[in-house]
Amino acid sequence: MSGNSHAVSTDFEAVGFTLQERTTLFAEIEQVCLLLGASELSIAVSSAQLKMTEAISPLERIRVLESVTALLTAAVPRYLQRPLSHLVQEEVVISLAKSQGGRDTMRRLARSPALTSVYEQNGLQRASLREAVNRAHPQEVPLQFIVQFLEDIARSASRLQPIALLCNAHEELDCLTRVVRACRDLRQVPPLGAIPFLPMRGWDALRGALLALRGGVELQPLLQACEIYCSGFQSDFSESPLFLESGQYPWRLYEVWAFLRTAKGLVELGWKPQGAPFLRLSVCGLRLELAHGQESVVHFRRDPGETVALWYQPYFRSANQARGRAGYYSQTHAMQPDFGLESEGRWLLFDAKCKPYTEPRAEQDDINKMHTYRDAIMKEGQSVVEGAWCLFPGGSDGKVNIHAYPSSTLEQPFGRAGIGAIKLRPGERAQRLEPLLTHWLSGKKSG
């Protein structure tokens, strides 16, 4: 599997990922999550709709945050200038410089010779008095809505910062900093600063407030900003180590992207996903819950009655342990490839290696691991692994796209050994992966 088998240097810099390729990687993760989670979202998505021109990537989401923040920067102060519908009076100590004036203030000055003396000696800033001021009632729905909105935008921007950093997207990082600062500044505009943020209410409160606020010309700019913010599919990055630790472990992103790209390949070959338990709809978006070191599965079906399962990190117990799921086991120590396909007792296993493999024999140690998978994983004493392949992004030059044994030919594109390595890079056509899937799904050995 991944983990310690990856050198520290196996990051996106080593394989020369461009900004566009990194953006594409994130976009395809979201695309395929949307496709696999269609039943959760109660929408139908066909593979024909999954075009890169329609992709919503996290970096594109940053531009949405920027435009929404610009709308709020103009709309919120205008809205706060109108008479508030629910006001409460509160007596506070305030400097004369900030006093609202009026009869009460003049009466207090007339009755306070000491205060008048301080004013005459030190000016407005040093002199202070108690004054009754109007404050918005904390339960006023529009103000709660604005506070919730600003906090949510700031939190979304903070979650996107590690991704922008990983992509070396310096303009986007600066944009996120501006978004967070603008939201914090707006949050301090009276009377918003006195209204508590209720994080436990999340998007349910925001959308509920949106419905409650229908109508009123002064609210339309706020509603427009909210509708833009809510439009389009978005991932929930709030608790996902995959995204929050992406800068520290970029190879995990490549591993998960390769897994999901394989799922997309199955869809493009006519297989229909039957739900994905590792995806669920949260109040912040579609949450990907692929836990590192744990197996997850998505089942696919194709007429008439054909099924195939795509496993993330399938676990094969050691021969010294009790038999695991469906009786599969390893003849030696326990093994856990990155992901694999299972159909009728047959396996096609993959390890995603975020490495270029541009140097001679650079792939050999990883190919030896494929040998181990193929030879050690059994059921009832019979070998069940028909193919074991590394997926690698290669270099940007595109010179090497397959390592097969013996070498790939027109007649035997994947050699005869059933093991090897094929190139899979964001933004490029999967010209080796999908033929390999077709080859294996047809019942032939992947060699």
pLDDT tops 70 at residue 302: yes
Q: How many domains does the chain have?
A: 3
What is the C-alpha separation between 82 and 142, in angstroms, rounded? 12
CA dist., res. 235 & res. 227, Å (int) = 17
The answer, yes or no, to whether residue 24 has pLDDT greater than 80, is: yes
* 32 alpha carbon, distance to own chain's centre: 12
Q: What is the pLDDT of residue 334?
A: 94
Query: Does residue 54 sit within a domain?
Result: no
Q: Cα–Cα distances in Å, from 81 out to 59, 73, 77, 194, 200?
A: 34, 13, 6, 16, 29
Give residue 291's pLDDT band: very low, low, confident or very high (50, 70, 90).
low
Mean of pLDDT values over 307-335 = 89
Per-residue pLDDT tens over the stretch 146-205: 888 898 899 888 888 878 887 778 898 999 999 999 999 999 988 888 887 766 455 555
Shared domain check, 334 and 249: yes
Choosing from 121, 136, 151, the residue where a domain stops is 136
Last residue of some domain: 136, 154, 172?
136
Strands 87-95 and 128-136: antiparallel
Query: What would the 3-class secondary structure string for 27-79 be?
Result: HHHHHHHHHHCHHHHCCCCCHHHCCHHHCCCHHHHHHHHHHHHHHHHHHHHHH
**How, if at all, do strands 346-352 and 385-392 pair?**
parallel
Give the whole-number percent of the chain exceeding pLDDT 70: 68
Q: Is residue 49 in some structural domain?
A: no
Residue 446 lies in a domain: no
Q: Do 147 and 132 share a domain, yes or no?
A: no
Distances (CA, A) of 176 to 147, 149, 202: 19, 16, 21
Which spans in 188-245 are helix H?
202-212, 220-230, 241-244
Confidence of residue 3 (pLDDT cuts 50, 70, 90): very low
Asked whether residue 102 falls in the same domain as residue 145, the answer is no
55 or 326: whose pLDDT is higher? 326
Spatial contact of 324 and 317, defined as CB atoms under 8 Å apart? yes
List residues bridging with 133 in a β-sheet: 90
Residue with the bigger pLDDT between 123 and 48: it is 123
Q: Which residue has the higher pLDDT, 169 or 399?
A: 169
CA distance 148 to 141: 10
Range of the domain at 110: 87-136
CA distance 341 to 306: 13
Q: Other CB atoms closer than 10 Å to residue 327's CB: what's the count?
A: 11
What CA–CA distance (Å, rounded) separates 418 from 420?
Answer: 7
Is residue 136 scored above 70 in pLDDT? no
Mean pLDDT confidence for 18-31: 83
Write the CA distances from 300 to 44, 122, 257, 412, integer angstroms: 16, 79, 18, 27
- Each residue of 348-374: pLDDT tens digit? 999 999 999 988 889 999 999 999 999
Q: pLDDT tens, 240-265?
A: 656 655 666 788 889 999 999 999 99
Residue 405 has pLDDT above 60, yes or no: yes
Measured in whole angstroms, the distance separating CA 428 from the mean position of its chain's CA atoms is: 21
pLDDT of residue 252: 86
Residues 351 and 420 in one domain: yes
Q: Phi first, then psi: give them for residue 216, nearest 5 degrees.
A: 95, 115
pLDDT in the model for residue 232: 57
pLDDT digits (tens, 9 = 90+) for 73-126: 999 998 888 766 555 556 666 665 555 555 566 666 656 665 555 455 555 445
Q: Look at residues 273, 267, 433 and name the one whose alpha carbon lies nearest to residue 350.
A: 433
> What's the whole-number mean pLDDT along residues 276-292?
67
| Same structural domain, 38 and 179 | no
What pLDDT was estimated at residue 55?
45
Does residue 254 belong to any structural domain of this protein? yes
Q: What is the CA radius of gyration of the chain?
A: 29
Task: Name the pTM for this structure.
Answer: 0.70
Q: Using one digit for the tens of pLDDT, what is the confidence trace for 212-245?
A: 655 567 778 888 888 788 765 556 555 565 665 5
Shared domain for 173 and 257, answered yes or no, is no
| Domain shared by 244 and 346, yes or no | yes
Q: What is the pLDDT of residue 53?
A: 37
Residue located via tokens 């600063």: 193
Assigned domain for 48 exists: no
121: CB partners within 8 A, 6+ apart: none
Residue 243 maps to a domain: yes
Q: Which amino acid is at 12?
A: F
Contact 352, 411 (CB under 8 A): no
User: What pLDDT score was predicted for residue 30?
Assistant: 77
- Same-domain pairing of 145 and 124: no
- Are 339 and 276 found together in one domain? yes
Cβ atoms within 10 Å, residue 213: 16
